[in-house]
Structure 1
Amino acid sequence: MILRRQFLSAAALGAGTLFVAPGLALATVPTERRFVFIIQRGAADGLDILRPTGDPAFAGLRGQLIDDAATGTKLDGMFTLHPALAEVGKMYGRRQALFVHAVASPYRDRSHFDGQNVLETGGTQPYAVRDGWLNRLVTLLPRSSDAAIAIAATVPIALRGSVQVASFAPSALPDAADDLMTRVTALYDADPQLHPAWAAALETKGLAAQTGAGQDPASLGRLTASFLTKPNGPRIAMLETLGWDTHNAQKGRLANQLKSLDAMLAAMRDGLGAAWATTTVLVATEFGRTVAVNGTGGTDHGTGSVAMLVGGGVEGGRVVADWPGLAPASLYQARDLRPTTSLDALIAGATAESLGLDPARVRRELFAPANGERPMSGLIRA
């Protein structure tokens, strides 16, 4: 989870904040299958990302945000993809992208921090579970190493737990001189606490060498791909994206966010090459946004949103939705998209099918028993 001051700084900056303090976390497991989780911190507006243009109430509620709807990719009779997601639209056309709409975690209030905690831990209440579901997922796989890598200033909650995690963050600063690195290595060499940590940091730095690691979207996508394609490299990754809290001027801000996400996913796909065929990327947020537009051209904290799966192995080219409708009587608490699908069930099904694990065991180990639905199935091609 990001630090509070990092989150508030991103919110204050507004448009273009997707890769302020970017985060990427990775875990090493001996498999050629790959799974990537991208969290959209700030509550991404699923009704704008995947627009239900076939719902008779939608245009009246969202007209001022969607005058470019005709340029988006029309997925079916109900849904139109935001025009900024051009590459994702192409993946959908190649049956490599799938969307799940009206989806939510068990959380039903509207605090970013509480919602992210529930999403990342797999609990039913904030702070009831101490470790993260992604860390627990790693424990279900045979591992050649107990180490995981977080490319971030702090390790996100989803990857905290019994598996050890080191950290690496792309920096705009110049690399330290070789002489300084040698001196620090010598200084820590005899220290029983600092030496292992320093050695792990150097190993992680070596993995990222010559990748051109930067903080722009395409660079982070390429960096992720470079880690995931190393012969003995990690096969599980997590990326953090910020800036999705669009209380005002949503039209331009969200378009910029989605262009960045689109560029990152395209760069990751291209960088993975043949490995894209065995890769699944899940994109999800802590909750959605209000159905109605507020007085400043934005939307406020809501409930149901959209999640997406992309990857060469995804059984894509479709939208999975038990659509509740946007008529006043159909809304959650008279203001939000009513969630009809469990995000936990989606995560359990996607991770199990992506990594060749038993879905019932994954559901049992990753999420609280009270979380509800059975794992979704048929998400990944056999």
Structure 2
Amino acid sequence: MLDRRGFIGAASGMAATLSLPRIAYAARAPTDRRFVFLIQRGAADGLHILAPTGDPAFAAQRSAFADKLEGGRALGSSFFTLHPALARIGQMAEQKQARFVHATASAYRDRSHFDGQNVLESGGLRPYAEKTGWMNRLLTQLPGARGRGLAIAPAIPMALRGPAQVATYAPSALQDASDDLMTRVSALYADDPQLAPLWQSALATQKLAGDIAGDNGRNAAAIGALAARLLGPREGARVMMIESNGWDTHSGQAPRMAGQLKGVDAFVAALADGLGLAWQETLLIVATEFGRTVAINGTGGTDHGTGGLMMLMGGALPGGGQVDAEWPGLTPAALLDGRDLRPTIASEAVIGGALAAHFDIDPAQLMAHLYPAQPRLKARLA
């Protein structure tokens, strides 16, 4: 599910008291198109999210997880089965508003979370070689270079670092105030017609920041609704990044993944519903730093792997409803290093191609700006 993070609240006047966001948007872009990037930190298991049940080798490799797929939606000419926790995303696929790209990977080929995330976000060929991120470089390419960027994170993620100014929410490093103190301050402001509503709004924002991974998906839904409110207005953000942790499933994977995916589904549903007609102008990409091993380990989990899954969603998504895969197979001989799903599609090519189509930018031009360290890389899905 979406990770514990703080979010923008309406009571910005109380920022000094509750460490609410300090907003410094990049200049406004003359476009109604919006883009959201959700990163699944921890290496999400794409074989669990969109299972290749049509592969003859799948049953032998993943029999312990097979019953968890019951009720899942068949996709890709029934070769793949979408996890049943992704009910709304499955509906979007039927409505041609969701598209899936399997057996993907960035340029990174080792198994360190931090290094893998850095390569995915920077667009480089190796960890820490690039000092800026591809999302910040995207902002410089939007019409008029007046993009609005926003990170929902305690610090600016690597993907949004660079010369284009963005906003972020950095929660306070100070110890949280006691419940008694908060109650006393609430009582102090209760009769003030100006401060009381600001204070209550600030408290609501702080509650969201406290634990958005729990509450049976309701917190994730609240975050999706909040993201929609930030993206929806004419003066709102146009490029947004949201972080989601908890995907490192070395043990007890089946129940953990069900909860994680339920949160993602709730977030996506609330984002689409909250945007309303603006969902037609929105592209959401969900990606992770790498996949997980094909075989299940002895504790009912999976270990760090390579090939993974990307999900794309939007109200007017080209190719919606399909699964893109140059499927390598799951037989032992087909696996990378005898253990991992072999990647066949570059994550960077998917991102660049999808963004080029979404923002109506020449794919070659955009790829050159987003991924200058990979000059031979060609856009996919454009």
Please name the residue that 1:154 is paired with: 155
The residue number in structure 1 matching 2:341 is 337
The answer to whether the Cα contact below 8 Å between 1:102 and 1:339 also exists between their aligned partners in 2 is: yes
Which of 216, 219, 225 is 1:222 aligned to?
A: 225
Q: Which amino acid aligns with 2:4?
A: V
1:370/1:19 Cα in 2 relative to 1: closer, same or farther (>3 Å)?
closer
Match of 1:266 in 2: 269
How many angstroms apart in 2 are the aligned matches of 1:143 and 1:86? Answer: 39
Q: Distance in 2 between matches of 1:264 and 1:219?
A: 8
1:92 deviates by 0.3
Deviation at 1:370, TM superposition (A): 3.2
1:295 & 1:159 partners in 2: Cα distance? 38
Q: Does 1:126 align with 2:127?
A: yes
8 Å contact kept, 2:32–2:234: no
C-alpha separation between the residues in 1 aligned to 2:148 and 2:47?
Answer: 38
Tell me the TM-score normalized by structure 1.
0.82
The 5 Å alignment of 1:186-265 reads 213=205, 214=208, 215=212, 216-265=219-268
The two structures, once aligned, show a CA RMSD in angstroms of 2.7
| Distance (whole Å) between structure 1 residues aligned to residue 108 and residue 375 of structure 2 | 10
Deviation readout 1:68-87 (Å, 9 max, x if unpaired): 32310111231000111000
Question: How far is 1:329 from its partner?
Answer: 0.6
Note if 1:53 corresponds to 2:57: no
C-alpha contact 2:5 2:152 (8 A) present in aligned 1 = no
Aligned length: 335
Residue 18 of structure 1 corresponds to 2
- 1:6: which partner in 2? none
1:83-116 CA-partner distances (Å, limit 9, x unpaired) = 1100000000000000000000010000000000
4+ aligned runs moved over 6 Å, structure 1: 23-26, 170-177
Q: Distance in 2 between matches of 1:353 and 1:279?
A: 12
* Contact 2:150–2:168 (CA under 8 A) maintained in structure 1: yes
Deviation of the 1:146 alpha carbon? 7.1
How far residue 374 of structure 1 moved from its aligned partner, in angstroms, is 1.0
Query: CA-to-partner distance for each residue in 1:325-380, whole Å, 9 max, x for gaps?
Result: 000110001000000001000000011111111111110011134364310135xx
- Give the match for residue 44 of structure 1: 44
Q: 1:144 to 1:99 in 2, by over 3 A?
A: closer
Is the CA contact 1:290–1:335 (under 8 Å) kept in the aligned structure 2? yes
1:311-326 alignment runs, 5 A limit: 311-315=314-318, 316-326=320-330
Q: How far apart, CA to CA, are the structure 2 residues paired with 1:365 and 1:265?
A: 29
* 8 Å contact kept, 1:124–1:371: no
1:363 aligns with 2:373: no
Query: Do the aligned partners of 2:109 and 2:306 also contact (CA within 8 Å) in 1?
Result: yes
- Aligned: 1:97 with 2:101: no
Identify unmatched segments of 5+ residues in structure 1. Answer: 1-16, 181-205
> In structure 1, what is the equivalent of residue 289 of structure 2?
286
Cα gap change, 1:163 to 1:243, in 2 (>3 Å):
same
With over 3 angstroms needed to count, the CA separation of the structure-2 counterparts of 1:366 and 1:319, relative to structure 1, is: same
Change in CA separation of 1:143 and 1:240 when aligned onto 2, cut-off 3 Å = farther
- Structure 2: 5+ residue runs without aligned partners? 9-22, 190-197, 213-218
Which residue in 2 is equivalent to 1:193? none
Partners of 1:147 and 1:300 in 2: how far apart? 38
2:152 and 2:243 in contact (8 A); partners too:
no
Cα distance change on mapping 1:117 and 1:295 into 2, 3 Å: same
- Residue 136 (1) aligns with residue 137 (2): yes
Q: What is the alpha-carbon distance in structure 1 between the residues aligned to residue 233 and residue 7 of structure 2?
A: 19
The 8 Å contact of residues 117 and 126 in structure 1, kept in 2 or not, is answered as: yes
- Relative to 1, partners in 2 of residues 1:332 and 1:57: Cα closer, same or farther, differing over 3 Å? same
Question: Kindly tell me: are residues 321 and 69 of structure 1, through their superposed partners in 2, closer, same or farther at Cα, counting changes over 3 Å?
Answer: same
Give the fraction of aligned pairs with identical amino acids, expressed as a percent: 52
Alignment-derived partner of residue 68 in structure 2: 68
Residues 144-153 or 337-346, more deviating: 144-153
TM-score with structure 2 setting the length: 0.82
> Following TM superposition, by how much is the alpha carbon of 1:230 offset from its aligned partner in structure 2, in angstroms?
1.2
Alignment partners' CA distance in 2, 1:236 and 1:80: 31
Pairwise CA distance, 1:164: 1.6
| Whole-angstrom distance in 1 between the partners of 2:109 and 2:7 | 26
> Contact 2:139–2:145 (CA<8 Å) still a contact in 1?
no
Tell me the distance in 2 between the aligned counterparts of 1:371 and 1:308: 25
For 1:370 and 1:360, the matched residues in 2 are separated by: 12
The correspondence for 2:309, drawn from 284, 306, 309, is: 306
The answer on whether the counterparts of 2:368 and 2:375 sit within 8 Å (CA) in structure 1 is no
Give the Cα–Cα distance (whole angstroms) in 2 for the partners of residues 57 and 145 of structure 1. 50
Q: Is the contact made by 1:344 and 1:371 (CA closer than 8 Å) also made in structure 2? A: no
One-letter amino acid matched to 1:224 = A
Supply the distance in 2 between the matched residues of 1:20 and 1:66 (Cα, whole angstroms). Answer: 30
Larger CA deviation: 229-238 vs 291-300: 229-238
Q: Contact 1:103 / 1:306 at 8 angstroms: preserved in 2?
A: yes
